[in-house]
Chains A and B, each alone.
Chain A
Amino acid sequence: MNEALGIKKAHPRGKKPEIEIAIVGNPNTGKSTVFNALTGMHQKVGNYPGVTVEKKTGVLKNSNGSKIRIHDLPGLYSLVPKSLDDKIAVDVLMDRLDEPQHLKLVIVVADATNLARNLYLVTQTMDLGIPVILALNMMDITHKRGLHIDVDKLSQKLNIPVIPLVANKGKGIEELQEAIGKITRTEYQYKPIWKIDNDIHEALLPVCSWYKNNSHLNETASWAEALRVLSSDKALENWLTNKNGSSFEYGIELKEIVKNARKSLEAHEIHWHMFESKWRYAWIDEMCKDSVQESDVGLSFSEKLDKILTHRIAGPIAFVLIFAVIFQSIFTWAEVPMNAIESSVQWFSGQVAAFLPDGVFKGLVVDGAIAGVGAILVFLPQILFLFFFLTILEDTGYMARVAFIMDRFMKGVGLSGRSVIPLLSSFACAVPGIMATRTIQNWRDRLVTIMIAPFMSCSARLPVYTLMIAAFIPGMKILGIFSLSGLTLLSMYLVGIFSAIGVAYVFKFFVVKKQRSSTFVMELPPYRVPSPKWVFLQMYERGKIFVLNAGQIILAISIVLWFLASYPKPNHQTNIAPAEAIQQSYAGQIGRFIEPAIEPLGFDWKIGIGLITSFAAREVMVSTLATIYNVEGADESSVSLREELRNAKNPQTGKPVFTPLVAVALMVFFVLACQCMATVAIVKRETNSWRWPISMVLYMTTMAYIGALIVYQGGKLLGLG
């Protein structure tokens, strides 16, 4: 038996000169910190082919000799996949992807403060027959927890190198690099550290040979996987379907073999269900007795802090306060850099205008390109603030407490606390929010979360809110602390949240009621000080994505709009008013065409143009208004967009186009409408069908129309017009 486990089948290797290695680990073990320390900034972020799981690779720095490429795999607890992210990690480790990696080494990052649970994944990974290094992180906290870990003994028992680390302080990274270099240079021989009873061995044999004949798992991994599928139906499922969800033809055969193997175990009175877990933990517990000493040290700082933050009364108060501060600061603190960017763009636009000769090109550059992109850049500070806070909340471990506190309510609408984080992320942008739903294991929960995520007011709506609030909501104080503008912003967020709850209810009862609602098992990691480097890296990455993605769409649409608003040119008359000129343009014609439909919402044809163009991306509304009003404006560049809007008059009635009521109706429309091509695209990708994105656009637009109608007509009835 031991011989069988020990023989390593020659692994066919490609001719890549590079060495591929991977980092895995439980969530919250500091895996990303280790990855960042090993690779520096030499990272590439992409997607695994055909799926939307993020693929992070980097090149090991300071490696002598061969180029070593590191794959940072999604965090997981076990090689039995529970979610799409888990499945990808497992498939990479078992070399089941279309593009095989042939890993030469796996670094398992483990949290030294809860060794047993981490060792479960460590031993599973070892049994894949790939060399393993155990990177034992958070060694500095072990003594505070009253733990003493005998690293040498652990290494000896596991028969693998164990490197103690304090990754966030860079301690142990050099030793880890050395160990990587050493292992990748030597020939590996798997040495089993445990025995399997004869009865089980016999039962496993046919399953094992199936793997040897039908997969490219090596001898060792075949044994380990045979044991896994015997113990767990979830593990078996992973071999019955391919990534599109359709059955493999050989699945039926495997299922039959496993069924027989289970029967033969039952004949020996061995309870096969979760046998692997029982067997591994029995071994782990035995080993930990020798290598780990534990003494009681009372409550840790994290536990004391948690007593407050998840306290029955203090917890919810803290939650509300934290988010109130975030919203308040996004609006007020961001004002300073916003003004600076605004005046810089104006200055730049003035310089360019003075430099270029009058004509088509000048109009294109100044009124099309610079005006459009400038109107978006101005809101970058707010977006960065938002990502700053969200990353800190996530990095400190508070996000998990949010899920813990809020699960009760999410359960009420048929979701779980897990949906809170994707939904909260959607306050920044629904696209990463929807992508974050991949950690929701239950498909029904995931789908509902995806469908309601765009109701969370994302950063792309902020430009619209900000413009409307700054231009039309008086800056008076309420109760001495809160400004009316801040409260208006908050109520827009609330409109979105309550709409989401309503829609989730509808989904719960009518649309996908067939499926079982989800369970909710989630780790509550200890609170940690966030790493400033990581926070700023996240801000930079997300800010870049926003500017580049928004920039591309906005640039293109601004130019199209400039064209639509400038052509056809009025017939050589010099005394024609700019307002009349735009009425004759293509843009004016389109706006006029849809005006009857949107008039009940208080919108005129200019707003109508914006509603159409902003289906590409919400923030385009602002640059559309900028373009339209710049073309029409009496005093070109000296008057800011806000003043332009305030001064805008209906040419027939002479009344202002925008009143505070119109501004609120417009904001409500933007809360509810699915005006974002990127969201539609990501939903198509995540649900793998056009059914859901199309339903999303239809139902959200309907709700937006009704919402704005209620606000405007209701407001007029109340005499607010």
Chain B
Amino acid sequence: MEVDWIPLNELKPGEKGIIRGFRENNSDEDYLMELGLMIGTAVTLVKFAPFGDPLEIRVRGFFLSIRSSEAKLILVEKIKD
């Protein structure tokens, strides 16, 4: 595993990353892939919900809410805009 790959939920609001992998036991993986979150897709962490969880991500021009527990299982490579 590459050193600079971090779990999606460790991005800060406004930061962007490229999906590099899915960790095991991500029960949402199939669903997320059908929505277009593939390896190589760019994701922006938009914000955390008011009470800290879930979080809002932007992908392919739309916005998704996912929980930190699932975001943790998506590995991204942080990129600069």
Which A residues fall within an 8 A CB radius of B? 77-78, 80, 82, 113-117, 120, 145, 147, 232, 234, 274, 277-278, 281, 307, 310-313, 315-316, 400, 403-405, 407-409, 411, 417, 516, 519-526
Contacts and interface: CB of A to CB of B under 8 A. Distances in A.
Nearest to A28: B62
Given A120-B36, A277-B34, A316-B50, 20 more contacts: A78-B34, A80-B34, A82-B31, A113-B61, A114-B62, A116-B61, A117-B35, A117-B36, A147-B61, A232-B30, A274-B34, A277-B38, A408-B49, A408-B52, A516-B27, A520-B54, A521-B35, A521-B65, A521-B70, A524-B56
B67 A117 contact: no
A28 B61 CA distance: 14
Contacts of B28: 519, 521
Contact of A417 (B30, B34, B64, B65): B65
Contacts of A522: 64-65
A520 B50 contact: no
Nearest to B47: A310
B53 interface: yes
B49 A116 contact: no
B65 A77 contact: no
A303 to B, nearest CB: 8
Given A277-B38, A310-B50, A411-B67, A116 B60 contact: yes
Contacts of A281: 36, 38
B36 A520 contact: no
A411 B28 CA distance: 16
B64 A523 contact: yes
Contacts of B66: 520-521
Q: Which of B34, B64, B65, B70 has the most CB of A within 10 A?
A: B34
B47 to A, nearest CB: 7
A97 B60 CA distance: 34
Nearest to A312: B50
Q: Which of B29, B30, B38, B53 has the most CB of A within 10 A?
A: B30
A484 B66 CA distance: 40
Contact of B63 (A82, A307, A315, A524): A524
A78 B32 CA distance: 11
A405 B49 contact: yes
A120 B36 CA distance: 8
Interface string B64-81: 111100100000000000
Contacts of B38: 277-278, 281
B25 to A, nearest CB: 11
B70 A117 contact: no
B1 interface: no
- Smallest CB-CB A-B distances: 10 pairs: A408-B51, A114-B61, A524-B63, A78-B34, A114-B62, A277-B33, A315-B50, A522-B65, A274-B33, A519-B28
A519 B70 contact: yes
A443 B35 CA distance: 22
Contacts of A117: 35-36, 60-62
Nearest to B32: A521
B30 A409 contact: no
12 contacts: A117-B60, A274-B34, A277-B33, A404-B49, A407-B54, A417-B65, A516-B27, A519-B27, A521-B65, A521-B70, A522-B64, A523-B64
Contacts of B27: 516, 519
B57 to A, nearest CB: 10
Interface of B: 27-36, 38, 47, 49-54, 56, 60-67, 70
B61 A77 contact: no
Contacts of B63: 523-526
Contacts of A525: 62-63
A315 B33 CA distance: 30
A225 to B, nearest CB: 15
A313 B36 contact: no
A678 B28 CA distance: 35
Contacts of B30: 80, 232, 234, 274, 277
Contacts of A417: 54, 65
A459 B64 CA distance: 32
A405 B53 contact: no
A524 B55 CA distance: 11
Contacts of B47: 307, 310
A315 B56 CA distance: 14
A77 B60 CA distance: 14
A154 B65 CA distance: 30
A405 B35 CA distance: 22
B65 A120 contact: no
A6 B51 CA distance: 53
Contacts of A115: 61
B19 to A, nearest CB: 12
A405 B54 CA distance: 8
B50 A405 contact: yes
B36 A404 contact: no
B2 to A, nearest CB: 19
A587 B60 CA distance: 66
Contacts of B33: 274, 277-278
A521 B62 contact: no
A411 B33 CA distance: 24
A147 B60 CA distance: 12
B21 to A, nearest CB: 13
A80 B32 CA distance: 12
A486 to B, nearest CB: 26
Nearest to A317: B50
Given A80-B30, A80-B34, A120-B36, A523 B62 contact: yes
A291 to B, nearest CB: 14
B71 to A, nearest CB: 10
Nearest to A313: B50
A446 to B, nearest CB: 16
Contacts of A147: 61
A101 B65 CA distance: 36
Nearest to A274: B33
Nearest to A520: B67
Nearest to A526: B63
B7 to A, nearest CB: 16
A120 B67 contact: no
B49 A310 contact: yes
A449 B16 CA distance: 36
Contacts of A114: 60-62
Nearest to A302: B63
A145 B33 CA distance: 24
Given A411-B53, A411-B67, A519-B28, A145 B61 contact: yes
Contacts of A315: 50
Contacts of A113: 61-62
A577 to B, nearest CB: 61
Contacts of A80: 30, 34
Given A310-B56, A408-B49, A120 B34 contact: yes
Nearest to A442: B27
A422 B61 CA distance: 28
A256 B49 CA distance: 44
